[in-house]
Amino acid sequence: MNTPMNSPTTLACRIHGAHDLRLEPEQAPDLGPHDVRLRLGAGGICGSDLHYWQHGKVGAFVVREPLVPGHEASGVVEAIGAAVTRVVPGDRVAINPSHPCGVCDYCRSGRGNLCRKMFFLGSASVFPHAQGMFRQAFVMGEAQLTPIAEAHISLGEIACAEPLSIGLHALHRAGPVLGETVLITGGGTIGCMSVLAARLAGAAHITVCDIHDRPLEMARTVGADQVLRSDQVDMKQLADSADVAIEAAGSAAALATCLMAVKRGGRVMQVGTLPAEIPFPANSVMARELDYRGVFRAHLAFDWAVQAIRSRRVDVRPLITAQMPLARSLEAFELAADKTRSTKVQVTAD
Ligand SMILES: [Zn+2]
Ligand SMILES: [Zn+2]
């Protein structure tokens, strides 16, 4: 076999279907003029990666060919194409997994996350699938990269830019919260990122509820004022109390809590992926003049997240539970799936 010297053979983690995760060798593609070859720094396992692994799909996105998961990653630059100016070999970089087309009506009106031709890494939303970053090495256009010069910020923290961007985008979509009361259902990674974002945005009081203790402890650690076991206390105590409710648990019961707990005229943000068909008290949205808003991925908030992390204005370190080499991906996925033992689990090149 003829192996070009500039594209070494490396290991990739691939999901072939439900409960079929394999480690396979591959060869990184050659570099185009604006391309950068990266070695994986850290790659966070997200709820959507877990869904692909456990069910072979996320909502309507079904794995139809082997999919490399992973959209929350940092990297170290190994080689650059002839025309690359943003980075040099050795740079540690944040990687934006979102590739909007830049020319559709949504892109041109500033809502690139809703792009008609979105290519989002590690996603089966398109076919052929957008292959992700749980691989030792990969090639990325330089436009996706932001070099992080701050040596004290770890590759694990940098890899948290994408999930933090979801929290920041949720708070951006919620509108100003300075001095307001915020309820967040779900104390997982996105719930905790929403706590961090709500604090950054000046919320006066943040309540988080969950059905496990560990996520609630984590939510407290990152700044929640009050935490509640929604399966143990009477949630009606929250009725009509929050200016903003953020659904980050992905359950119908949590959404019902949000709709009940928000004040008249308040805003309910749906961040979590809910089951396809659930009861929805639409008349309470009408009679209480609620604003019901969706939050899908992020757009400008990715760069806000990078800035917040590199300056440590937001400290994501408590959320990183463990890092494991790609060779132990299965173990890493199992740990990530257990919310009583982990928040964010990341894989590393070796
Ligand atoms: Zn994610
Ligand atoms: Zn577009």
Q: For position 334, which CATH number holds?
A: 3.90.180.10
Question: Which domain covers residue 122, as residue numbers?
Answer: 9-160+316-348
Report CA(9)–ligand 2 centroid distance (Å).
34
Same domain assignment for residues 136 and 176: no
Report CA(242)–ligand 1 centroid distance (Å).
26
The bound ligand whose nearest atom lies closest to the alpha carbon of 102 is 2
pLDDT digits (tens, 9 = 90+) for 25-70: 999 888 999 999 999 999 999 999 999 999 999 888 999 999 999 9
Q: How confident is the model at residue 147 (pLDDT cuts 50, 70, 90)?
A: very high
Residue 1 included in any domain: no
Residue 3 included in any domain: no
Report CA(103)–ligand 2 centroid distance (Å).
5
Residue 269's nearest CA partner among 287, 254, 284, 288 is: 254
Residue 299 included in any domain: no
Residue 300 included in any domain: no
The bound ligand whose nearest atom lies closest to the alpha carbon of 133 is 1
Task: Specify the pLDDT at position 50.
Answer: 96
| Chain length of the chain | 350
Same domain assignment for residues 172 and 238: yes
Report CA(50)–ligand 1 centroid distance (Å).
10
Report CA(281)–ligand 1 centroid distance (Å).
28
Contacts of 295 (CB under 8 A, 6+ apart): 166, 169, 170, 173, 269, 270, 271
Report CA(102)–ligand 2 centroid distance (Å).
5
3-state helix, strand, coil in the chain (%, to 5): 30, 30, 40
DSSP 22-83: EEEEEEPPPPPTTEEEEEEEEEEPPHHHHHHHHHSEETTEE--S-B----EEEEEEEEE-TT
Distance CA 25, CA 249 (A): 36
Q: Quick check: 15 and 63 in contact, CB under 8 A?
A: yes
The bound ligand whose nearest atom lies closest to the alpha carbon of 108 is 2
Report CA(337)–ligand 1 centroid distance (Å).
13
Report CA(97)–ligand 1 centroid distance (Å).
10
Same domain assignment for residues 242 and 110: no
Same domain assignment for residues 137 and 99: yes
Residue 58 included in any domain: yes
Q: For residue 182, give the 3-state DSSP assignment.
A: strand
pLDDT digits (tens, 9 = 90+) for 274-284: 988 999 999 99
Report CA(162)–ligand 1 centroid distance (Å).
7
pLDDT digits (tens, 9 = 90+) for 100-110: 999 999 999 99
Q: Quick check: 321 and 342 in contact, CB under 8 A?
A: yes
Report CA(122)–ligand 1 centroid distance (Å).
10
Same domain assignment for residues 39 and 104: yes
The bound ligand whose nearest atom lies closest to the alpha carbon of 110 is 2
Report CA(277)–ligand 2 centroid distance (Å).
29
pLDDT digits (tens, 9 = 90+) for 209-224: 999 999 999 999 999 9
Number of domains the chain is built from: 2
Same domain assignment for residues 67 and 135: yes
Contacts of 90 (CB under 8 A, 6+ apart): 76, 77
Task: Specify the pLDDT at position 29.
Answer: 83
Strands 344-348 and 320-325: parallel
Residue 308 included in any domain: no
pLDDT digits (tens, 9 = 90+) for 293-323: 999 999 999 999 999 999 999 999 999 999 9
In single-letter form, the type of residue at position 322 comes to: A
Residue 208 included in any domain: yes
Q: For residue 247, give the 3-state DSSP assignment.
A: strand
The bound ligand whose nearest atom lies closest to the alpha carbon of 99 is 2
Residue 283 included in any domain: yes
Same domain assignment for residues 147 and 184: no
Q: Quick check: 243 and 263 in contact, CB under 8 A?
A: yes
